[in-house]
Structure 1
Amino acid sequence: MPKTHIDKVYPKSDVHPMILNFQNGYATEQFEVDKCNLFSNEKNGLKCVTAELNDMLYAGEEEKEDLGKTFILAKNRVTGKVRLIEVGSALLKPILKVDNDTPQVLETSHLELSRKFGSKKQKQQMEQREKLKVNVETVTEQMQNVTQAISEDKLDLSSYNKSDSDDFYIPPIDRTADKPENVYDIDKILTEDQYEKIYSELEEKDYAAEYTPFIKSIATGKKLSNRQTVLAVYANSLLKYSVTMAKEVSKKNFVACTHSPTLNNIIQANFSVMTNGKRTRPTPYKDKALCHAIVFALLINNLKFNLEMLCEDAKITAATAAMKIRVTGASVVSLGSKKAVQLKLPLNTKSGFRRRSARF
């Protein structure tokens, strides 16, 4: 058998031979193409072939050959030299020219055939498809009716929208005070009537039994004034409120303070909002409750308390607590091996971050 010598290999170029296959048949010796065009896809660089045969348009894109290459062998009968020519391959599929209404007709015909002559599984599939069909006009009309019934709650968001101000999260503050005890005025947190009414509601009730470990550590074993007692219950309620699940807060029967209806109403009014007739507690209001509790704890414990106990009750890390504490103007200081929160001058105004929203 004579040896074959490969004279030259021709790789693919901008224009190269193509091996074409038809999806619905095979080419014979009598095969003739009326018109054939070669296009290049600018997105992926592949060739696209179109051919017209028997008034039918065929088209197909060159198949990718990631794992191998296809060559055709061309032999010169005189010299015996052989050349390898790299080619591409494409599968031509018929392109149906139909009107816009034809797909619906074809789909309906297919449904009827499947319903009458299909297997049990096909019939079940057809039934499921019909159930999933949606009348677009009906849905559009329903959505219009729903949007017309929606009303927007108008709230006083003047303080809430001050995303760059810390005043939203804390009680009234005097940042120009010359003494730490003058930074927060206990008389400006609640009115005189509110203090008296809340304290009268707390009398003869065992409110201290519901103190959290943190509030118990700073409120028991010392003589508190009537207003400090009110603030202790206030801070205790806010700490519990800040760790309560949002879905519990939204319930109609939710109570923030069980011992004082007046204090409960104050918390509901100042630390939650009404949305579509439902009371909710957005994240900024949760942070506001915790910051107020920190300030009240400072006021009833000589402007200082233990950081670790606060973190345990509030269920937050020391780093997160430090951000809330900074907003109040207080600082985290070291007392031996422990960390404490202290309100001192100058006020802590350093911020290691830039708040982009009302959350922090």
Structure 2
Amino acid sequence: MSKLQITEVCPKGTTYPLIANFLHGNPTDHFMAEECLLLKNEENNLKTVLTKVDNLLYVGDEEEDALSKTFIVKRNRNTGKVQILDAGIVNLKPVIYDNNDVTSMEVNNLELSRKFGSKKQKQIMEQREKLKVNVETVTEQMQNVTQEITEDTLDLSAYQNTNSDDFYIPTIDREATKAEDVYKVENMLTEAQYDIIISEIDGKECTADLLPICQEVLARKTLSEKLNVLLIYADCLLKLYAKPARDITKKNYVIMPHSATLNEICLSNFTSMSNGRRVRSGPYKDKTLCHAIVFLLLINNLKIELNSLCETLKLSPATASTKARVTGASIATVGGKKVVQLKLPLNTKKIFRRKSAKF
């Protein structure tokens, strides 16, 4: 045997030979060369080969050579020089697929049942056809529906934290050392809102149609511009509290015709939107009354008569007292009359609330 002289060893580079093994068969002399598709896996740099032989699709992944390597010996007959080439191995497996489409088979069965089936079979096939759902049509319909949904069509008022007293009352300082500092007039509205509302009601007779309880407060003392705005604000809230819910849903409903700013504040803070309509749920109605009580307390030296509040809104003393206590005020007897009085320490007695979050 002649000795071979190895002149070059070629490791794997960007291109290298692949040895293809066909599963369940070996190439014979009748094998004809076929074109193949060579793919590369970017993660491990291994090759995938696809080819077609006798109307069969063969696919194979290159084997990893971590434990062993395969070499091809290449000899030049003229020079006798020998090259050793690092090669890869691919095992090609046939991919068996069925040309019969399941959908076409169902259609054929449907046509056969229509033509040759019994009356009962025809009815069954017609019912199945009616129950079929076009997925693309349903998807398109759902997309159209979701595009039309806006924030106004979703009533989120039921998810508000209405179990906390802070929902029903204005900004409060529970750590205040004086009763006058528990609620601040400056915190009821912003400076800009006060200025705009003052300019809007300037020269207009806004106090002529005030409710009796507000008229009583106005008759006792001369009010500053901010307290005058706060009194009108309280009057609007008391009227809003007494207004039937069906009237609030009207598009042209206005609670304060002399000030567009104050009207918007009342409607946006004490009502909510549902399906494009303005509504007032139970918690928002109670919030309206609690804010009005706080405003009247600030204007009238932290005291208001309970009987006057009940007569204005046609409330029972027990109901009015329950609402007033949420503000931190207490019910006291002064001169034989019951009054709602804001004093320290604040009334922190827990109020029983029904499951509807109303009180």
Work out whether the TM-score is over 0.5: yes
Q: CA 1:274/1:352 → structure 2, altered by over 3 Å: closer, same or farther?
A: closer
| Deviations, residues 70-104 of structure 1 (Å, cap 9, x unaligned) | xxxxxxxxxxxxxxxxxxxxxxxxxxxxxxx9xxx
| Deviations, residues 159-188 of structure 1 (Å, cap 9, x unaligned) | x62232101111100001000000001111
Report if aligned partners of 2:155, 2:274 keep a CA contact under 8 Å in 1. no
Q: 1:242 is matched with which residue?
A: 241
Q: 2:279 is matched with which residue?
A: 280
Report if aligned partners of 1:207, 1:259 keep a CA contact under 8 Å in 2. yes
| Deviations, residues 126-154 of structure 1 (Å, cap 9, x unaligned) | xxxxxxxxxxx9xxxxxx99995884735
Q: Within 1, Cα distance between the matches of 2:279 and 2:216?
A: 31
Gaps of 5+ in 2: 1-119, 121-129, 131-137
Q: Within 1, Cα distance between the matches of 2:188 and 2:162?
A: 22
Q: Within 1, Cα distance between the matches of 2:256 and 2:351?
A: 35
* Residues 1:174 and 2:182 are matched in the alignment: no
Q: Within 1, Cα distance between the matches of 2:197 and 2:155?
A: 27
| Deviations, residues 232-260 of structure 1 (Å, cap 9, x unaligned) | 00000100010001111110111011221
Q: CA 1:352/1:251 → structure 2, altered by over 3 Å: closer, same or farther?
A: closer
Partner AA of 2:171 in structure 1? P
Partner AA of 2:210 in structure 1? Y
Partner AA of 2:326 in structure 1? V
Q: 2:210 is matched with which residue?
A: 211
SS of residue matched to 2:345: coil
Q: Within 2, Cα distance between the matches of 1:354 and 1:238?
A: 22
| Deviations, residues 311-360 of structure 1 (Å, cap 9, x unaligned) | 11122111111111111000110113210010000001113524534311
SS of residue matched to 1:240: helix
Q: Once the 2 structures are TM-superposed, how far is the Cα of residue 208 of structure 1 from its aligned partner? A: 1.0
> Identity across aligned pairs (percent)?
50
Q: Within 1, Cα distance between the matches of 2:317 and 2:358?
A: 18
Q: 1:305 is matched with which residue?
A: 304
SS of residue matched to 1:305: strand
Gaps of 5+ in 1: 1-100, 102-136, 138-143
Partner AA of 2:242 in structure 1? V
Q: Within 2, Cα distance between the matches of 1:292 and 1:319?
A: 18
Q: 1:195 is matched with which residue?
A: 194
- The number of aligned residues is 222
Q: Within 1, Cα distance between the matches of 2:287 and 2:349?
A: 19
Q: Within 1, Cα distance between the matches of 2:319 and 2:155?
A: 29
Q: Once the 2 structures are TM-superposed, how far is the Cα of residue 157 of structure 1 from its aligned partner? A: 5.4
Q: 2:324 is matched with which residue?
A: 325
The TM-score with structure 2 as length reference comes to 0.57
Q: 1:350 is matched with which residue?
A: 349
Report if aligned partners of 1:271, 1:281 keep a CA contact under 8 Å in 2. yes
Q: 1:254 is matched with which residue?
A: 253
Partner AA of 2:262 in structure 1? L
Q: Once the 2 structures are TM-superposed, how far is the Cα of residue 221 of structure 1 from its aligned partner? A: 3.9
Q: Within 2, Cα distance between the matches of 1:157 and 1:239?
A: 21
Q: Within 1, Cα distance between the matches of 2:155 and 2:219?
A: 39
Report if aligned partners of 1:163, 1:356 keep a CA contact under 8 Å in 2. no
SS of residue matched to 2:273: strand
| Deviations, residues 7-66 of structure 1 (Å, cap 9, x unaligned) | xxxxxxxxxxxxxxxxxxxxxxxxxxxxxxxxxxxxxxxxxxxxxxxxxxxxxxxxxxxx
Q: 1:295 is matched with which residue?
A: 294
Aligned pairs (5 A) from 1:114-125: none
Report if aligned partners of 1:163, 1:357 keep a CA contact under 8 Å in 2. no
Report if aligned partners of 1:161, 1:358 keep a CA contact under 8 Å in 2. no
SS of residue matched to 1:184: coil
